[in-house]
Amino acid sequence: MSETLIRDTSHASAGELVEALVRRDVSALELFDAAVERIEDRDGPINAVVVHDFDRAREAALAADVALARGERRPLLGLPMTVKESHNVAGLPTTWGFEEAKGFKATVDSVGVQRLKTAGAVILGKTNIPVSLADWQSVNPVYGRTSNPWDLTRSPGGSSGGAAAALASGLVSLEFGSDIGGSIRVPAAFCGVYGHKPSYNLVPQRGHAPPGFDGGDTPIAVLGPLATTAEDLQLALDVLAGPVGDEATGYLLDLPVPRRTELADYQILILDSHPLAALDREVKHALTELANHLDRQGATVARRSNLLPDLDKSHEVYMGILGATMSRGGPLRPDAISAHAWMDLLDTQTLIRRQWAELFKTFDVVLAPVFGTTAFPHVQEADPAKRTLTINGKPTPYFDQLAWAGMATLGHLPATAAPIGRGASGLPIGVQIMGPYLEDRTTIDFARLLEREFGRPPRAGDA
């Protein structure tokens, strides 16, 4: 394997690699070898890919080459990639970062992993997470800490932190994550890559659960892709999305095309403040600069709207649902709610979703911060209630930042995180592109148009 090929493939998108495989410019085995060499050479201080499955991946790459040679075509045939540790992959550990689950190995692939493999993906292994997927850092007693490849003293985000770090450092070009509190979007923004939180239940959750759990879907949680280009998000979503089991008997997925074809045609609402979450001046400035650019391009850009749901109330409902969801399986908490209170939360969520639907009759997308800061330094405080983030020189409660992610999560809305620049310290800054329910192609394509406008963002170490 030549060094030139390693360098070239580390900067190629998933779509470009798939096209190169079809042209036979490169073999699946060569891509596998190059990816493994990059992981072994670069990943030590980053600690992104924490579970290796190289022997089986090599066999899959050889099989892909045989299939390609006989003219077989599948969306990801021969593409090396990794998946978040929380996804079940038969024969590999699924611990969710719990030390007591170190011995647990999945016996069956999750639905998402099955679909990736059916599409021809070569799964190299798994990427790191926080315990119970419950942090914007990716550290746990099983695998240790993952660092941001742009600055090893800082977090790559969480809970898909290992996923974003692997992409940003050029180890792979495609990843499969999950999101309930920004777990796809925050790492994408912190690491300068793309991430898509799909509309609720667009990607089946079966096989993505803590060790020992196998039941109904988790309310408000979703599964989705991370990638180094916006187009690759759509490539992956086309593989991952669609009904499963009994629903597949009668339902077919037919997502609408993007609402617009050019940035100038979009109706855009800018949301650069939240009553419950602080926003760093640097991040706000980047969003303002983007809004001004879109305005100059001819897009209709509004800075406020009475159609926006009550953000205080929305966050209260979101936190109620999130708290009940994340406490599942643990000891009874003093803030446990009754079944009637739970149903009241769901009723209010429905009303808020209807308000979002009304808003999107006027606007095509809402642009908001992904998070109130760029990637923050590693936090050592073990008690989450005592953690703070310094924003504009002032300490603010750590988990107040859930407010930015919670809007789209509660609304079941698609939300695409896209890089829009870097701050004074060189750290990436991202934007959250929210759109109407089940109009995922619109938010992803808006990100693609931004990428076309500003160019493909650099990988860590390039600039």
Our answer to whether residue 361 is catalytic in this structure is: no
What CA–CA distance (Å, rounded) separates 170 from 163?
A: 11
Which class for 201: exposed (0-12), middle (13-18), buried (19 or more C-beta within 10 A)? middle
* Residue showing tokens 């075509």: 73
- Beta bridge partners, 122, equal 80
Assign 262 to helix, strand or coil: coil
Residues 6+ away with beta carbon under 8 Å from 385:
none
Strands 388-391, 222-227: parallel, antiparallel or unpaired by DSSP?
unpaired
Report residue 344 as tokens: 């009241």
* Residue showing tokens 């339902």: 251
DSSP secondary structure code for residue 376 in this structure: P
Write the DSSP assignment of 265-333 as a string of letters.
Answer: G-EEEE---BTTB---HHHHHHHHHHHHHHHHHT-EEES--TTS--HHHHHHHHHHHHHHHHTTTSPPP
Our answer to whether residue 183 is catalytic in this structure is: yes
- Kindly report whether the peptide bond that precedes residue 159 is cis, defined as omega within 30 degrees of 0: yes
- Among the listed residues 84, 86, 155, 199, the single catalytic one is 84
- Among the listed residues 147, 159, 173, 314, the single catalytic one is 159
Q: For residue 397, what is the enclosing H or E element?
A: strand 394-397
Our answer to whether residue 27 is catalytic in this structure is: no
DSSP secondary structure code for residue 105 in this structure: B
- Among the listed residues 169, 183, 199, 314, the single catalytic one is 183
Q: For residue 355, what is the enclosing H or E element?
A: helix 339-359
Q: Which residues are catalytic?
A: 84, 159, 183
